[in-house]
Each structure stands twice: as structure tokens, then as C-alpha cells.
Amino acid sequence: MRYVALLRGINVNPATAVAMADLRALLERLGYGNVRTHLRSGNALFTADGDAEPIAAAIERGIREELGLSVAVIVRTAEQLRGVVEHNPLEVRDPARFAVVFLARPPDREGLASIDPAAYAPEEMRIGERELYVYFPDGLRRPKLPPLMEKYSTGPATMRNWNTVTRLLSLAEGL
């Protein structure tokens, strides 16, 4: 099965630095095949047997034990990532300002739906299965939505812009 691992918060400062060569080597030591990385922001693609949750836990444990970092890892199959792209409920007007927040667990739909859209306008948000689709027309310099979304978080999450999401899908389907 083809997988994509999304690591949260690596390479954002010197304390969270992870060389992609080290990440690839770690994934290979864990027994995963066809390992490759995309960008320096914690995107890995590989093949493996098993379910996504135990794979994510194994990667988290490996990073903690071998690299000394506590990093949340969210894993999706290539097929699940295809569904994320195909079921996008918003128009992608600017792929660099459009993002998907990948959630480890299903979102608190009721809590998120209770947020008044006027509180975060002109930003937009739609709820997916285990993702949030968000549009930041003014960019990510001072977004309003992330703090509101975190209030209703049910677990770890990590965000990728649309360009990265679609490129990861292309790479995963080509493994």
C-alpha cells in the first residue's frame, strides 16, 4: 500500500531541524519501501503493509528515539489523499493561499460549525472527513482561523497548502 506521512512542525526553527536524508533512512529502517521525501516541511512517501495509525505511531516513536524530537505524524493512504483532493468543497482560487488541515481524528463538527463565519471573514473553512479545507485570501501572516480551529481540535493536526497536497498525491500515485 502507498502512504504519505505528514510530520507536524519540523524544520520551522533550528530546534526542530530534521534532515530529509535522516528521515528517509529512519523510514527505511522501520521497514518501509520506496521511501522518498518532498520539500523540507516533513512530507514522506513510502510503501508499507499495515494500517495508517500504527504506522504513524511507529514513525513518531522512531523520530523520538532516533532523532530526539516529539513530532506528531499523520498518515494517509494514496487513495485517502485522492479522496481529499476529489472531495474539496471549496473553489481553489489561489493554491498558495488554500490549504488542507489534516487531522489525526475526525473533527468536532458541532464545535467547528458553531464558529460564526464573521469571526474569521474573509477566510473560509469547510469541514471534511478528517480534514479541514481553508482559504486564506490575505495569506498566512496573521490568519484568524487557526486559533479558532485549535479550540475544537480533537488531536494532532498539520496543514499543507494546495500545491503541496496535489504534488504529494501525484508522487504517491507514482510510487
Q: What CATH number should be reported for the domain holding residue 45?
A: 3.30.70.1280
Q: Which of 78, 109, 128 finishes a domain?
A: 78
Our measurement of the distance from residue 135's CA atom to the centroid of its chain's CA atoms, rounded to an integer in Å, reads: 16
Question: How many Cα atoms within 13 Å fall on the side-chain side of residue 27?
Answer: 29
Q: Which of 46, 78, 110 finishes a domain?
A: 78
Instruction: Extract the C-alpha cell encoding 158.
Output: 498539520
Range of the domain at 122: 81-161
Our measurement of the distance from residue 87's CA atom to the centroid of its chain's CA atoms, rounded to an integer in Å, reads: 16
Contact between 71 and 34 under an 8 Å Cβ cutoff? The reply is no
Does residue 156 share a domain with residue 95?
yes
Q: How many domains does the chain divide into?
A: 2
Does residue 139 share a domain with residue 127?
yes
Sequence-separated (6 or more) residues with CB below 8 Å from residue 9: 16, 42, 71, 72, 158
Does residue 87 share a domain with residue 42?
no
Mean pLDDT, the chain cut into blocks of 10 residues (175 residues total): 96 90 97 96 96 97 95 97 98 96 93 94 95 94 89 89 97 92
Per-residue confidence (pLDDT) for residue 153, from 0 to 100: 81
Per-residue confidence (pLDDT) for residue 31, from 0 to 100: 97
pTM of the model: 0.94
